[in-house]
Amino acid sequence: MELEFQEYRVRKIVNVHRHVDGPRFWTKYSAHPYVGCRSGCEFCYLRGGRYLGKRDPNTFDTQIQVKTNAVESLGRELAHLPPDVITCGDWQQPAEDRFRLSRGMLGVVRELGFPLFVIERSPLVTRDLDLLVDINRRAWVGVVFSLSHVDPALKQIFEPRSPGTKRRLQAMEQIAQAGILVGAALMPILPGIGDDDQHLDEALRAIHEHGAKFVLAGGLTMAGVQAERTLAAARRLDPRLETGWREFYQWAENGKPNYGPSRAYAARLGLRVRELGARHGLLDRMPRYIAPGPLAVNKRVAEQLFLKTYELELDQAHDQRIWAFRKAAWTVDESQDSVARLYAARGEAGLRELPGIGMTIAAEIARWLRDYGENG
């Protein structure tokens, strides 16, 4: 397969997310030096959606756009942003061997003292372990390796060119041994063929044995070209799987599938991964990095509020309730006024002055503050 590198300059490289990505990766910023991915996994959600812009989705794995000024843009933009967790770099392709932009970007993150989050399918990230260790010493680093399963037969069908699972696990171990927080993203878990206890348990045991502290589970999405290709791969494995997935995603003939599995399925899967993960000593959420400072208490309370949204999702609670906690998490996370100070000054009435914080949530926050010894 021909691989074409298309070099260009960007005006801006940092995406500033409106809200922190809790309770999953906890990132505020993201910056990536390449567009497209040589691994070309059939189920890659980047094939669908807005990632490729106006590009033909079928060029996703053959044409790699290279942001040649990624390093200088990152330095210029981060210099004007308050430090917070940034997802940075792309190691999963030959472009990084040649252009080394991810390494350059890590250098900037280190110099400016930002905490870093990395999510990868490639062991090449260990090439830059020296920088990761340094950033971890100055601020914080969390690394997540993506793997959908540890089944070679499924890998061959759905991600034949992605780096080998064993190599990913070895890289995970190397990073853990360097004292860096490591976890795994079981994403996407393939319905009907990768979501049974045996597949899940094998994957969880392997990641635990290689130093992971937590696991994040995610179902398979279906959109546009990604959906067509994923379904074609399923057909190659077993034509009955195609029929099963059409039903699972309520994929009408000539129509569109649902984007993701049902809430009930997602909740069952989340609970199962939690239960099996606990047997291996794995958390099912990534602990949040919180920088010291007067607003650290807000971040801790926001973490609890975000975690509560996940609990409610697992309980299949009413949407309205989930949204109430999510909005409260955003409010507290982004408030420039310390919730500990508000509580100390006026009790729960002080907390209720914040937008979207009603009686129930104020009482929960007050309880956490008392647990932290932050009750004035």
Question: What is 234-280 written as a DSSP string?
Answer: HHHH-HHHHHHHHHHTT--TTSPPPSS--HHHHHHHHHHHHHHHHHT
Strand partners, 16: 29
- Beta carbon of residue 101, minimum distance to ligand SF4 (angstroms, whole number): 16
Closer to ligand SF4 at the Cβ: 119 or 340?
119
- Beta carbon of residue 175, minimum distance to ligand SF4 (angstroms, whole number): 17
Buried b (16+ CB within 10 A) or exposed e, 181-211: bbbbbbbbbbbebbbeeebbeebbebbbebb
Question: What is 204-225 written as a DSSP string?
Answer: HHHHHHTT--EEEEEEPP--HH
Give the torsion through C-alpha atoms of 220, 221, 222, 228, to 10 deg. Answer: -40
- Beta carbon of residue 49, minimum distance to ligand SF4 (angstroms, whole number): 12
- Beta carbon of residue 188, minimum distance to ligand SF4 (angstroms, whole number): 9
Length of the chain: 376
Sort strands 15-16 and 29-31 into parallel, antiparallel or unpaired.
antiparallel
- Beta carbon of residue 163, minimum distance to ligand SF4 (angstroms, whole number): 8
Long-range contacts, 345-353 (Cβ 8 Å, 24+)? 345/376
- Beta carbon of residue 43, minimum distance to ligand SF4 (angstroms, whole number): 7
**Number of C-beta neighbours around residue 373 at 10 A:** 7
Cβ atoms of residues 91 and 163 within 8 Å: no
Coil, strand, or helix at residue 15? strand
Closer to ligand SF4 at the Cβ: 115 or 163?
163
Closer to ligand SF4 at the Cβ: 182 or 297?
182
- Beta carbon of residue 46, minimum distance to ligand SF4 (angstroms, whole number): 5
- Beta carbon of residue 60, minimum distance to ligand SF4 (angstroms, whole number): 7
Closer to ligand SF4 at the Cβ: 46 or 112?
46
**Which parts of this chain interact with ligand SF4 (CB under 6 A)?**
37, 39-41, 44, 46, 92, 121, 159, 162
Question: What is 321-350 written as a DSSP string?
Answer: HHHHHHHHHHHHHH-SS-HHHHHHHHHHHH
Closer to ligand SF4 at the Cβ: 159 or 284?
159
Closer to ligand SF4 at the Cβ: 161 or 263?
161
Closer to ligand SF4 at the Cβ: 41 or 332?
41
Closer to ligand SF4 at the Cβ: 73 or 92?
92
